[in-house]
């Protein structure tokens, strides 16, 4: 059957698939990762699919309506996020006026609030919650065989729908254990997307993003990927399977400068990381790569990662105050962060540091400590976010109970430009103040003379870094100076 997998139009370059969906000030735009994996699963099952990423390709509602008119899908799988949920539902309503189809919403927001989402519109036929690849496949297979009765839908695990105004949820689907069964997401990119449409400000351009594992053994209270999307514990692909995909990328995307492992925490299993590095070295795969990591990777492993071509790690430091790290269940210490950065420097691996303000226990003094820590750690690049709370996370539930949410109008989660718009006002720290503190943190970090000189030297001594520095800087400088 014909299935359209849609990252719906919203703001141009709106990064719906990121952990904090918004138009980013550094120009970062995530691949529609989860939709792409599901596309591969459906095509492997014999379905005819079209993957459309409207924000990345600047497609409007009218553009998507024409695609629907021409492609005539029998099912549309539409991604969602908290800031865009009202828009996403409206997109589906308008598309149904062009062509009748079975509409399924997926993604973090719909997964966290399936009942609330279904009540937004009668045009939404179902919500596939959490890890939805196989849920959509089973639904499509039954539709193709003409067996899509209400009773049949109710037996599809992971699916929610309304029946006579009553909310029905079929129950949890078991997470995918054998991830080697999944088609390479890079093959989906090759067929449906242009990798030059996507950009990570910390990575070489263009890059290819893949997953080598799903889930995370760590449960940071603010992370909606862990608490909403990847709820099945930490599972990984075999090293051999990952290597086969790296070889495919090397051959099919000669323009790619880097591969980004978007696992929640690629370095969670140090034994696997070492095997990965050994095998990559043995095969002579010389393409650069980067990954998400915790600030706890030992020096020997870092050195092996560097030898295997690791260029950069994205690390969540979050705060410079130990009590706040404990409050969010970060499971690390400030001292360990400092030792990690010293080891990363020794190994020659760059770090993109992630910092946030506004968590439980935050004060102006603790924010100042975080800014001081960021400058002391001095990662290659850094991001500073006001706390962004999303439904389905412990942080959201806690802040909601304490009355710290400014509004539950999700469209306010981003501003008129599509940028992050903090909706948390804590005692002594309003949402406006939290945003201003982040703006100040960026200026304090990036406008240091030593940092600017270091970037000039980096461009001269490492020309490969120049493209991503200039590409990110073009967008970022404007917001850095003018806000």
For 316-364, the pLDDT digits (tens) are 999 999 999 998 888 889 999 999 999 999 999 999 999 999 998 999 9
What pLDDT shows up at residue 116?
A: 96
What pLDDT shows up at residue 242?
A: 98
Asked whether residue 168 carries a pLDDT value surpassing 80, the answer given is yes
For 40-92, the pLDDT digits (tens) are 999 999 999 999 999 999 999 999 999 999 999 999 999 999 999 999 999 99
CATH 3.40.50.280 applies to domain 2-169: yes
What pLDDT shows up at residue 472?
A: 60
- What does the buried/exposed string (b/e) look like for 348-362 if buried means 16 or more CB atoms within 10 Å of the residue's CB? ebbbbbbbbbbbbeb
Higher pLDDT, 460 or 29: 29
What pLDDT shows up at residue 461?
A: 80
Spatial separation of the C-alpha atoms in residues 216 and 163, rounded to whole Å = 35
Between CA 114 and CA 125, with CA 120 as vertex, the angle to 5 degrees is 65
- pLDDT band of 478, cuts 50, 70, 90: low
Domain boundaries, the chain: 2-169, 193-482
Question: In this structure, what token pair is assigned to residue 482?
Answer: 């003018």
- What does the buried/exposed string (b/e) look like for 376-390 if buried means 16 or more CB atoms within 10 Å of the residue's CB? ebbbbbbbbbbbbbb
What pLDDT shows up at residue 148?
A: 67
- pLDDT band of 480, cuts 50, 70, 90: low
**How high is the mean pLDDT of the chain?**
92
For 432-450, the pLDDT digits (tens) are 999 999 999 999 999 999 9
Asked whether residue 17 carries a pLDDT value surpassing 90, the answer given is yes
For 205-237, the pLDDT digits (tens) are 999 999 999 988 887 788 878 888 887 788 999
- pLDDT band of 307, cuts 50, 70, 90: very high
Please state the three-class secondary structure of the chain as a single string. CEEEEEECCCCCCCECCCCCCECCCCCCECCCHHHHHHHHHHHHCCCEEEEEEHHHHCCCHHHHHHHHHHHCCCEEEEEECCCCHHHHHHHHHHHHCCCCCEEEEEEHHHHHCHHHHHCCCCCCCEEECCCCHHHHHHHHHHHHCCCCCHHHHHCCCCEEEEECCEEEECCCCCCCCCHHHCCCHHHHHHHHCCHHHCECCCCCCCEEEECCEECCCCCCCCCHHHHHHCCCCCEECCHHHHHHHHHHHHHHCCCCCEEEECCCCHHHCHHHHHHHHHHHHHHCCCCEEEEEECCCCCHHHHHHHHHCCEEEEEEEEECCCHHHHHHCCCCCCHHHHHHHHHHHHHHCCEEEEEEEECCCCCCHHHHHHHHHHHHHHCCCEEEEEECCCCCCCHHHHHHHHCCCECCCCHHHHECCCCCECCCECECCECHHHHHHHHHHHHHHHHCCHHHHHHHHHHHHHCHHHHHHHHHHHHHHHHHHHHC
Using alpha carbons, select from 260, 345, 251, 262 the residue that is nearest to residue 297: 345
For 257-299, the pLDDT digits (tens) are 999 999 989 999 999 999 999 999 999 999 999 999 999 999 9
Question: In this structure, what token pair is assigned to residue 178?
Answer: 């054998």
Helix pair 270-283, 239-252: axis angle to 10 deg: 40
CATH assignment of 193-482? Answer: 3.80.30.20
Count the neighbouring beta carbons within 10 Å of the beta carbon of residue 311. Answer: 25
Instruction: Report, in angstroms and rounded to the nearest whole number, the Rg of the chain calculated over CA atoms.
Output: 22
Q: What is the mean pLDDT of residues 136-161?
A: 84
pTM of the model: 0.93
Spatial separation of the C-alpha atoms in residues 16 and 88, rounded to whole Å = 11
């Amino acid at each position: 059957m014909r299935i359209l997998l849609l990252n719906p139009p919203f703001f141009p370059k709106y990064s719906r698939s990121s952990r904090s969906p918004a138009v980013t000030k550094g120009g970062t735009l995530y691949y529609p990762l989860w939709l792409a994996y599901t596309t591969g699963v459906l095509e492997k099952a014999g379905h005819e699919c079209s993957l459309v990423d409207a924000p990345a390709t600047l497609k409007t509602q009218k553009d998507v309506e024409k695609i629907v008119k021409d492609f005539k899908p029998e099912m549309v799988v539409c991604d969602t996020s908290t800031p865009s949920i009202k828009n996403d539902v409206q997109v589906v309503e308008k598309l149904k006026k062009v062509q009748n189809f079975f509409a399924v919403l997926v993604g973090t927001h719909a997964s966290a609030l399936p009942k609330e989402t279904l009540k937004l519109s009668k045009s939404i036929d179902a919500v596939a919650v959490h890890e939805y690849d196989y849920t959509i496949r089973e639904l499509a297979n039954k539709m193709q065989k003409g067996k899509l009765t209400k009773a049949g839908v109710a037996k599809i695990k992971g699916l929610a729908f309304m029946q006579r105004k009553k909310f029905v949820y079929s129950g949890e689907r078991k997470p995918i254990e054998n991830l080697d069964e999944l088609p390479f997401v890079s093959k989906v990119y090759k067929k449906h997307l242009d990798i030059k449409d996507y950009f990570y400000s910390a990575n070489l351009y263009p890059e290819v993003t893949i997953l080598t594992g799903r889930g995370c053994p760590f449960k940071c209270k603010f992370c909606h990927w862990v608490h909403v999307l990847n709820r099945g514990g930490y599972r990984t692909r075999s090293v051999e399977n990952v290597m086969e995909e790296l070889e495919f990328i090397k051959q099919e995307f000669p323009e790619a400068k880097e591969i980004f492992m978007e696992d929640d925490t690629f370095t969670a299993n140090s034994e696997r990381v070492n095997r990965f590095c050994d095998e990559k070295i043995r095969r002579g795969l010389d393409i650069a790569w980067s990954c998400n990591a915790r600030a706890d990777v030992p020096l020997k492993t870092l050195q092996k990662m560097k030898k295997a071509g690791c260029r950069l790690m994205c690390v969540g430091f979050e705060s410079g105050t130990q009590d706040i790290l404990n409050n969010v269940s970060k499971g690390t210490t400030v001292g360990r962060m400092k030792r990690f950065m010293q080891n990363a420097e020794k190994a020659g691996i760059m770090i993109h540091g992630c910092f946030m303000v506004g968590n439980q226990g935050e004060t102006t003094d603790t924010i100042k400590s975080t800014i001081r820590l960021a400058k002391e750690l001095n990662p290659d690049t850094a991001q500073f976010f006001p706390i962004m709370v999303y439904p389905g996370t412990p942080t959201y539930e806690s802040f909601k109970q304490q009355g710290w949410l400014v509004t539950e109008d999700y469209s306010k989660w981003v501003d008129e430009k599509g940028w992050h718009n903090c909706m948390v006002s804590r005692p002594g720290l309003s949402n406006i103040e939290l945003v201003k503190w982040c703006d100040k943190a960026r200026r304090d970090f990036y406008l240091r003379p030593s940092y600017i000189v270091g970037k000039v030297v980096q461009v001269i001594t490492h020309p490969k870094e120049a493209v991503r520095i200039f590409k990110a800087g073009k967008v970022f400088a404007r917001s850095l100076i003018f806000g």
